[in-house]
Copies of this chain bind each other. A is one copy, B any other.
Amino acid sequence: MKAKPLFEPKSALLIGSSKITEKVGMTSPKLFDRIAYNMKKYFKGSFSVLDIEKSLDIPKAELGIVVLPPKKSIILAEKLMKNGIKAIVQITGGFSEKERKEYLDIAMKYHTRLLGPNTIMGLINTENGLNTTFERDLHPKKGDIAIISQSGGVGAALLDWAKYYGIGISKFVFMGDKLDLDDANVLEYLKEDKQTKVIAMYMEGLKKGRRFVNLMKEITKEKPTVVLKGGITKEGAKRALSHTASVAGSDEIFNAAFIEAGMIRVIDIEELFDSALVLSKQQPMKGKNVAIVSNVGGPAILAADAVAREGLRLARFSKEVKDKISSKYPGIDVINPIDIIADARADRYETILDLVLNDKNVDGVMVINMLKSCFFESKDARIIYDVWKRYDKPIVDVPCGGEDFVLVSKVLRNTNIPTYDLPDKAARALNVLYKYWRISKA
């Protein structure tokens, strides 16, 4: 695993300059300072900083983080390599073709792995606290989702999103120019990484497509992978070309490749996170049949519409389940979606969910529990997690609305039950679980 020294160094060394200022995003004392701040605060290994204006006495370390202009970077990198460094994160870019070749040649000579150049934000490993990004305290919480971004800007947005919404991250990588390590090398590492259960990617283009697809076919059997592709239209592709110099290619080709690779394609950042989260929290859904259990009528209708729109089916309850619910709750009309009436509290949800999950006609459940205009209290939502543990079928929860969503999400946040503010998002999440079941058994 070529990328391992990059993610798991015992010691790290940051090399930069307190004087040199290039153009925006490149070498600057501010960038240098800010990376030092994050590394000092979060990295659990030994960490040292070298300001080349003050000293050229290079301390020993396993990982080098370089924030210097091209020529100086190459000179210092070679010194690091001679000194036994195992991997380098080349934050800054701007290398000429000649410089790129020179840099790669020395890395090859010393068997040193290189991320970048132009990775800008570098990488994060929440397990050992490695964080080479320059935004202060943009350190996500520990979790089992790994993120790979081919764009600095989209990567920054993804990181901001993960931090803000408290989404647990295992690894975060900004690929940069891929002079040495490429997506496949990082993916090979993530395949074996014990902290990573789900992979989320933002990509704009691809080289060595066949190798990538073959690798992903292996990975996606074990670890669900979600992908957002930028540059799907001619206009976007044109900008992508000038942006990361990647071959954007025809969207149909990518689509076919993603399908063959068993990757789940999404169309925006929210869907990327929603999909990764549900895959990290819930088991695959082994069929298309969804039961909707709701304490209100209208939102259940919207939920039924959303389930159909996703190409899933509304489960038909077995006669046995219908009879049991009807005899226990004569006021409830047992069709799917099932409206268990506005005065339902935890006990009624539990009884009905137990019956519904036991029904062989049901593959997964969408629960709707509103607080407004109902008797349900947010603490009641805990029962959904308790019932879920008794069966091997996925459940997603919709506290439909604004404040309702926030209140119920607080109760379920640290459980395996994902929450959505709209039935449409919950139906999409169930469909992702169904898609992954088809991928994992293919």
Interface positions of A (Cβ within 8 A of B): 23-25, 120-121, 134-135, 138, 149-165, 202, 204, 228, 230-236, 238-240, 242-244, 267-270, 296-302, 304-309, 314, 331, 333, 335-337, 339, 341-343, 370, 372-373, 375, 400-404, 406, 421-424
Does B163 contact A404, Cβ atoms closer than 8 Å?
no
Does B236 contact A304, Cβ atoms closer than 8 Å?
yes
A24 CA / B372 CA spacing, docked (Å):
13
Query: Known interface pairs A268-B424, A301-B231, A305-B230. Does A296 touch B239 (Cβ–Cβ under 8 Å)?
Result: no
Does A301 contact B230, Cβ atoms closer than 8 Å?
yes
A70 CA / B342 CA spacing, docked (Å):
20
Query: Known interface pairs A153-B370, A402-B160. Does A204 touch B298 (Cβ–Cβ under 8 Å)?
Result: yes
Question: How far does the Cβ of A342 sit from chain B's closest Cβ, in whole Å?
Answer: 5
By beta carbon, the residue of chain B nearest A164 is B402
Query: Known interface pairs A24-B343, A308-B235. Does A120 touch B297 (Cβ–Cβ under 8 Å)?
Result: no
> In the complex, what residues of B have CB within 8 A of residue A151's CB?
297-299, 301
Does A402 contact B298, Cβ atoms closer than 8 Å?
no
Query: Known interface pairs A268-B424, A342-B24. Does A235 touch B307 (Cβ–Cβ under 8 Å)?
Result: yes
Does A25 contact B342, Cβ atoms closer than 8 Å?
yes
> In the complex, what residues of B have CB within 8 A of residue A152's CB?
296-298, 373
Does A156 contact B233, Cβ atoms closer than 8 Å?
no
Does A305 contact B233, Cβ atoms closer than 8 Å?
yes
Number of copies of this kind of chain in the complex: 2
Partner of A242, one of B154, B235, B335: B335
Partner of A165, one of B372, B402, B424: B402
7 A-B pairs with the lowest CB-CB distances in the bound complex, closest first:
A164-B402, A151-B298, A153-B296, A154-B298, A160-B401, A233-B308, A153-B298
> In the complex, what residues of B have CB within 8 A of residue A401's CB?
156-158, 160-161, 164
By beta carbon, the residue of chain B nearest A167 is B402
Partner of A305, one of B232, B296, B404: B232
Does A164 contact B403, Cβ atoms closer than 8 Å?
yes
A309 CA / B231 CA spacing, docked (Å):
12
Partner of A235, one of B24, B153, B304, B341: B304
Does A302 contact B268, Cβ atoms closer than 8 Å?
yes
A124 CA / B314 CA spacing, docked (Å):
36
Query: Known interface pairs A164-B401, A342-B24. Does A370 touch B156 (Cβ–Cβ under 8 Å)?
Result: yes
Query: Known interface pairs A302-B230, A335-B239. Does A157 touch B270 (Cβ–Cβ under 8 Å)?
Result: no
> In the complex, what residues of B have CB within 8 A of residue A165's CB?
402
Does A299 contact B157, Cβ atoms closer than 8 Å?
yes
> In the complex, what residues of B have CB within 8 A of residue A120's CB?
373
A339 CA / B232 CA spacing, docked (Å):
18
Q: Which of A238, A239, A242, A370 is the most central at the interface, judged by chain B CB atoms within 10 Å of its CB?
A: A239
> In the complex, what residues of B have CB within 8 A of residue A423's CB?
268
> In the complex, what residues of B have CB within 8 A of residue A337's CB?
235, 239
